[in-house]
Structure 1
Amino acid sequence: MLAVRPPAAPIGVFDSGVGGLSVLRHIRAQYPNEHLIYVADSGHAPYGDKTEEYVVERALAVTDFLLSQGAKALVVACNTATVAAIKAVRLRYTDLPVVGVEPGLKPAAAASRNGKVGVLATARTLKGEKFLQLRAQISEATRAEFLLQPAVGLVDEIEKGDLRAPAIDAILEKYVAPLLDQGADTLVLGCTHYPFVKAGIERVLHTHGRDAVTLIDTGDAVARQLGRLLEAAGLLRPELKPDATLHGYTSGDPAALRQAFNDLLGLQPAVEKMAV
């Protein structure tokens, strides 16, 4: 059992690196008066090539840390960690509102005109039991065909911070083009890092004459679900004051996370090293 947290307590958000900042920006936009703590577990990234047991261990360790900082709710802003570890987190902390992210297969199936949906994600996400069950369920309900494509190395390149790097463009061409060749008219960005290279993906689409392809990013839906859980638990911070705080922690290099906050979100929060 957790101690009851007050509505003024912060929301904890974590990812293996900076990708979860794409979810954090939706949370800040929808709930500007909420205090936020962001953890980038960059010292143990990427999660996509780790075993499920390792990802579970890290997810529980980061959750413990966020709870020690007073977090009232948790957003697992990482597709790989959601697939591998969210069940373990919920089993350990039954009273904690927990929101995960998963590839937006349902909205993608609804958006597709020809029923062919490309899914870009990490190899770990695409192999996960939770994801495979979701794909089977939605495929049966909608008859959509999901074309799975692990984007090997893309998270590593995004973490370096140069989103216009030739290496990123080369990876995007390598993995997006085959999905287009198979007829995909909708692409799911199945990793929270990927919205930050949306412009690069759109360049690939334009090069192949496929500007009409729809891109699906689930960050907005994650923020809405967080709000529903907080409201149901009576944990929404009621005061609309310009004093909401944002604090960053990382198991990697604090300077790198500060740079990511600035480059990706235009923010300059305090960032500290996390000894976990």
Structure 2
Amino acid sequence: MTLCHSYLLNSESLCMRIRLSFLLLSIFCVHTSANADEWKLVWQDEFDGKSLNYQQWETEVNAFGGGNQELQIFTDRPKNVRVQDGNLVLEAHQDNAGIAGTVREYSSGRVRSKHRGDWKYGRFEIRAKLPAGQGMWPAIWMLPTDEKYGTWASSGEIDIMEFKGQEPKTVLGTLHYGGQWPQNAYSGDQFELKQGSFTEEFHTFAIEWQEGEIRWYVDGELYQTQSKWHSAAAEYPAPFDQRFHLVMNLSVGGQFVGNPNDSTQFPAQFLVDYVRVYQKR
């Protein structure tokens, strides 16, 4: 092959790569533009201030254990819940903290938007970095604001993201529905990263919820769609036809994730960069 011929082939190859790059960019721009045309931002928190915005969030304080035999208490102390460096920080400690006469080995943080942000349908997008370690259980989820169909799980629960700290590449998305416990039902799926982990950098978790269908995304990639659920109290699409609010927390231990062990490091942080809620135009 002559030098001139090689140069011409390399030039043609370069031109082809450039044309392909512009084509992919144009497809991406059309896609994002279509999304912008479809969804309108109606509620957001970028956590850029110096403290939690209590017009949008409530800090929960309890030693209930969530019905899952969790080991933490949730407090409103700044060491457990704060806004810092552009993030919401939910931080778990092994500090034998106590509230209302109850002392637990672990403390952590939990916030919710109930009566401050409640929605029926929409796109819910959260960018977060998750904590590593056996027994770490961060979650982004939604609960019914009014419990029209009864107590859990007859009025529903939408788990946007749940994570086991000892499984750093995998997150889960789940629906809970049916009747009141123990006549409840659930269905869901999981997403596994091909490279890296959810504990090394921030990732985006989202659902798109419309009448009769809920879709789950990680970093913009659709990984499950659910449309087959039921209610013991009303006709389909109940219970997912009422207002829900957001909940974000970092739990420690319990039946779902197992308890911490000697390898678990404290304090552990669940960092949330932003929460954005969109509704159809």
TM-score (norm 1): 0.29
- Looking at secondary structure, tell me which structure has more helix per residue: 1
Quick check: which one's strand share is greater? 2
Q: TM-score, normalised on structure 2?
A: 0.28
